[in-house]
């Protein structure tokens, strides 16, 4: 969870349908990252949801920004300028609402208002709302990690896997958040999630998400907080650079490769010098000495 990252990580949350808990998942993950990470975390709402990720993260005040603050953030050279005009939750999460005025948000708006100062934040978590394979491209271009949110049923999970496969960028990691927003999860859902071709984290239903005001993490169910930790850890893991590099030309494989066990040789290496063979018809030296003695 606290693993250092060399660059700012941009996480894009998108749902396969409305009302399945995309903003819940994004708000929980952003809150955990802000509390557990050592550097600043920014949450951005680009979704028309009435209860955005900012609300679920605990923000009760408006998160709008004036044009003057936006200009200051675009030209930021210090962290104090990068956070100008941003709202702050009790848990230390910086917030920006691109959908505060109720008008549709252009995808390009994110690049204008968020991207210039994004490098000053350890994580930038954006809720993009509902997307499909035809419109997910804008989310991919603005993200290092994409989290596809689905409901806890087979049809929704299938739609989530299809949307994950539409992320046609090898540099962008994808994972699923399976949210039981309606409380209809079946026991077989756990087996389904474990067998998915995409990494996935389940989030249980919590009645506190339907309260009139944001509920602090301490009042959420223990299973909800544990799932939020797992989701945030999965995001950090997806953003962590993988060890290793280019293979050495001519090097022998080691360990498992494509399911085949490669065992190391036992004993000293064989002598590469070929053993001389006697000419055809010649007798072995010991037999020749016996015949001469007789």
Whole-model pTM above 0.85?
A: no
pLDDT by 10-residue block (mean), the chain, 294 residues: 90 96 96 95 92 92 91 93 94 92 83 95 97 95 97 96 94 96 90 94 93 86 95 95 46 37 43 56 55 54
pLDDT of 256 reads 37
Q: Judging by beta carbons within 10 Å of its beta carbon (0-12, 13-18, 19+), is residue 231 exposed, middle or buried?
A: buried
Domains held by the chain: number: 1
Q: Is 34 part of a structural domain of the chain?
A: yes
Q: Is 276 part of a structural domain of the chain?
A: no
pLDDT of 264 reads 41
Q: Is 185 part of a structural domain of the chain?
A: yes
CB 170 within 8 A of CB 198: no
- Token pair in block for residue 130: 């509902």
pLDDT of 263 reads 39
Q: Is 205 part of a structural domain of the chain?
A: yes
Q: Is 207 part of a structural domain of the chain?
A: yes
CATH code, domain carrying 141:
3.40.50.300
Q: Is 35 part of a structural domain of the chain?
A: yes
Q: Is 193 part of a structural domain of the chain?
A: yes
CB 99 within 8 A of CB 45: yes
Q: Judging by beta carbons within 10 Å of its beta carbon (0-12, 13-18, 19+), is residue 194 exposed, middle or buried?
A: exposed
Q: In 40-77, which positions are buried (b, 16+ CB within 10 angstroms) versus exposed (e)?
A: bbbbbbbbebeebbbbbbbbeeebebeeebbebbeebe
Q: Closest Cα to residue 15, out of 196, 203, 207, 159?
A: 159
Q: Is 292 part of a structural domain of the chain?
A: no
Q: Which domain holds residue 69?
A: 9-239
């Amino acid at each position: 969870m606290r693993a250092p990252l060399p660059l700012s990580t941009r996480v894009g949350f998108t749902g396969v349908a409305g009302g399945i808990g995309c903003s819940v998942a994004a708000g929980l993950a952003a809150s955990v990252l802000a509390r557990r990470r050592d550097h600043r975390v920014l949450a951005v709402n680009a979704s028309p949801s009435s209860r955005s990720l900012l609300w679920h993260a605990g923000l009760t005040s408006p998160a709008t920004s004036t044009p003057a603050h936006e200009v200051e953030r675009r030209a930021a050279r210090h962290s104090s300028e990068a956070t100008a005009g941003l709202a702050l939750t009790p848990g230390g999460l910086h917030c920006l609402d691109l959908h505060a005025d109720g008008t549709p948000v252009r995808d390009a708006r994110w690049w204008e208002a968020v991207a210039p100062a994004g490098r000053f934040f350890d994580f930038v978590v954006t809720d993009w709302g509902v997307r499909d394979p035809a419109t997910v491209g804008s989310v991919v271009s603005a993200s290092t990690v994409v989290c596809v949110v689905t409901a806890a049923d087979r049809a929704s999970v299938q739609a989530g896997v299809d949307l994950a496969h539409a992320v046609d960028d090898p540099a962008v990691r994808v994972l699923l958040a399976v949210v039981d927003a309606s409380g209809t999860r079946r026991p077989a859902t756990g087996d389904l999630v474990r067998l998915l071709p995409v990494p996935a984290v389940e989030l249980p239903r919590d009645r506190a998400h339907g309260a009139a005001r944001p509920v602090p993490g301490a009042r959420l169910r223990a299973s909800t907080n544990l799932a939020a930790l797992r989701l945030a850890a999965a995001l950090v893991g997806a953003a962590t650079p993988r060890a290793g590099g280019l293979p050495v030309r001519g090097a022998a494989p080691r360990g498992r490769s494509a399911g085949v066990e490669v065992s190391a040789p036992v004993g000293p290496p064989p002598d590469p010098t070929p053993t001389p063979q006697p000419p055809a018809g010649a007798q072995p030296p010991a037999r020749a000495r016996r015949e001469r003695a007789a």
